[in-house]
Structures are given as C-alpha cells and as structure tokens.
Structure 1
C-alpha cells in the first residue's frame, strides 16, 4: 500500500536523521546555543541534504494525495527554504541542525502510533506509552528546547535576518502544532474520564426497597 511505503520512509528518515543531528548538535558541535551562525561542517551538510531531500519528497506526497492541512504544508515549505538558504550560505547549519533534531525526534513515535492503529494495537499499553512519549518529547524538546535555540539564533549577530525571521516563523508553526496536541490530550483525557465514570456507575450498588443490592 502507498501509505505504508510512505510511512516506512518517514520512519526510517526520522530515526536516521534524529541520530545524526543529535550526534552533531550534542557531541561533535559546535554548540548551537553559543555558536549560532558558525560555518557548516561536513556532517551538518550531509544531514541537511538528507533532510532536504526527504522534505521535498514528503511535500510532493502531501500535495499529490492531499493528506495534510495548511499548517503542515507551511511547515514543510519553511523547512525546505531554510535548509536551502543555509546550504547556499555555507553557515548557520549549527542552529538549523539543532532545530532538525528537536523536531524530528518525535517523528518516529508519530509513525509508530500510525502503524499501531493500522494493526489494531493502538488501544493497548504500548499505544499509551507511545502517546505519552510523543507529547512529552514534543513539549520538552520541540517547544522548550526550540525556544532556547530560537533565542540564541535571534540574539546572535551572525545569522542573517532572513534566517531569524524563518526561525521565528517555524517556532510559531510549532506552537500551532502544540495547540492541536493539547486538544488531542484534552479529548483523550475526557474519553478516559467518561469511560471510568461509566464503569463506576455500572459497578455501583443501587437501592431496592430500601436495601442496597449489588448489580
């Protein structure tokens, strides 16, 4: 099925790019919070080229099959433009690579959630763990960590104004995704509460002729 093939490509890309960008940002350096606007390293260039190729593929998929809304399409176009500018300038891959890391680390969990749903295994303990990790990592890394990266990028004199504006736009898009995730969490918690309340009412004793009788 086309959807399974696309999801497998997305899953493999997410795993590979998360590992590579995480290694570059956290171990190899330079540190994005203090060296924004630094010249691109060979590994950073490879990571961005790989990610750029995937985003062009996924944007084409979304446009052809009309599977995503305006927010996701805007996210893809901003990502593609930002990576092309960084590769063309030969600098600022440090902070963009860090943004790739905090953004893509939740992607494998999102794809795993889709596969679990397709296989009928979503409403299990594993599905609950995947949802929790996705929401937790999104809020901590993409929103929390992304805020520090954006601050470092905006306050540094090295990155050009176009990248700073693009970075702010990307963070606003992430806030839009966060709003959707919060709505998802609220709906899920409400369903769980209703299920718990219904189960409790079924197991509760009822009065019959002045006496309590278990159902």
Structure 2
C-alpha cells in the first residue's frame, strides 16, 4: 500500500492541474490568480466536507483516539489535500505571489501530511487540522472574489466577514487549542518519540565509556 501512495498523490496533483487548466480556458478574460483561487475554493469545499464526514461520522474521533492507525478513507482525504498543496506551492513559487510565511505554511502542511501517510498513523489528527484550516478557506476566497468584482463593501461582504471571524475564532483557535491539548496529553502518539529519546539518551551515556575504553586499548 505504501508504494501506491505516491501514485495517488500524483493523480491528485494531476487532477488539480487539470482543473486549473480548465478554469484558465473557461475564464480567459480573467487573471491566472482568478483561476487558481477557484481551484483553492474547490479544494476548500471538498476538503471541508470530506474531513467533516471522516471526523464526525466515519471516525475515529481525533480528540479521543490520537495516534490511531490510518483508515482507507483518511488516506484518500490526505492524498487529495497533499496533491492540492503541492499544486498550490508550485503555483505560488512560479508566480511569486506569496511571501516566506505562506510558503512555510504550505511546506509544513506538506510535511505533516506526508509524515502521517508514511507512518500509517495519526491521520485522524491531521484530518482534523485540515478541517479546521479549510473551513474558513471558502469564506476567505469569497472575500477576494467580492473585492475583485467590486461587491465587497455590501451586506454580502459584511456577512462573509462575520462568519469568517466566527469560524476562525471558534474552530481554528478554540477547537485547534483543544486538539493540541489532547495530542500532548495522550501518550500514544508520543510513545515512539519517547522511545527514540530514551534510546538517544542511552547512546549518549555509553559514548564516554566507549571513548575511554578505546583510548585504554590504544595504550
């Protein structure tokens, strides 16, 4: 299954590239950023719906089962988002539209998803993070489109801003902090890290003895 993961990610990347090319063809009179943001909007909606179904219905619940083995549906969701983040990172680098902070955000997202897929665990938490970060994304894109079309300073713009602030505060900050607490409090996802730490400490404690022993043998 591990060998099939790069193929799934490649298919996801190709799908997002194809969608972007279609948007560019469909909206020739618009900028490339317009088409890219339509792709971003599409991913935001799909990722939010899929991650919500995985987290709230299919399970397992990330707040009570951190570090659990990845399910098939979780893997599909992560591959879908990983392909998108690779596409968006390449687009941002090519057109030089984003600063170092946004590029770092993309890299961290890519590394986090890749680590979960490679280890075969903790997809529940990563899926929850995707849900928390993408649930506000459609509203963020809506603000940009409203500004581009000159409709931002209206009742629609105020409604979009209101729900953006509410979701950002409640989900990203509130639920995000709760998820981080559950992750740090649970021993399961930290077990391997603790084992590696103790093994490192053990090797460090043996190094002086080995050096001294080798020094004595040389004499």
TM-score (norm 1): 0.73
Query: What is the alpha-carbon distance in structure 2 between the residues aligned to residue 31 and residue 76 of structure 1?
Result: 25
Q: Aligned-pair RMSD on alpha carbons?
A: 1.5
Unaligned runs of 5+ in 2: 1-30, 194-219
How many residues were matched structurally?
Answer: 163
Which of 86, 94, 114 aligns to 1:56? It is 86
Give, in angstroms, the shift of residue 56 of structure 1. Answer: 0.7
Change (3 A) 1:26 1:128: same
Query: What is the alpha-carbon distance in structure 1 between the residues aligned to residue 109 and residue 190 of structure 2?
Result: 16
Query: What is the alpha-carbon distance in structure 2 between the residues aligned to residue 147 and residue 87 of structure 1?
Result: 23
Note the 1:3-22 alignment, pairs <5 A.
3-22=33-52
Query: What is the alpha-carbon distance in structure 2 between the residues aligned to residue 75 and residue 149 of structure 1?
Result: 19
1:33-79 Cα distance to aligned partner (Å, 9 max, x none): 11000010111111100000111111111111121122211111111
- Which residue of structure 2 lines up, in the alignment, with residue 127 of structure 1? 157
Which of 20, 35, 41 aligns to 2:71? It is 41
- Which residue of structure 1 lines up, in the alignment, with residue 169 of structure 2? 139
Query: What is the alpha-carbon distance in structure 2 between the residues aligned to residue 141 and residue 69 of structure 1?
Result: 25
Give, in angstroms, the shift of residue 118 of structure 1. Answer: 0.7
Query: What is the alpha-carbon distance in structure 2 between the residues aligned to residue 144 and residue 6 of structure 1?
Result: 30
- Which residue of structure 1 lines up, in the alignment, with residue 181 of structure 2? 151
- Which residue of structure 2 lines up, in the alignment, with residue 213 of structure 1? none
1:87-141 Cα distance to aligned partner (Å, 9 max, x none): 0011100111001001100000011111111111011000011011111101110
- Which residue of structure 2 lines up, in the alignment, with residue 206 of structure 1? none
SS of 2:187's partner is coil
Shifted more, 150-159 versus 78-87: the winner is 150-159
Note the 1:103-118 alignment, pairs <5 A.
103-118=133-148
Note the 1:145-184 alignment, pairs <5 A.
145-160=175-190
Change (3 A) 1:119 1:151: same
Shifted more, 62-71 versus 2-11: the winner is 62-71
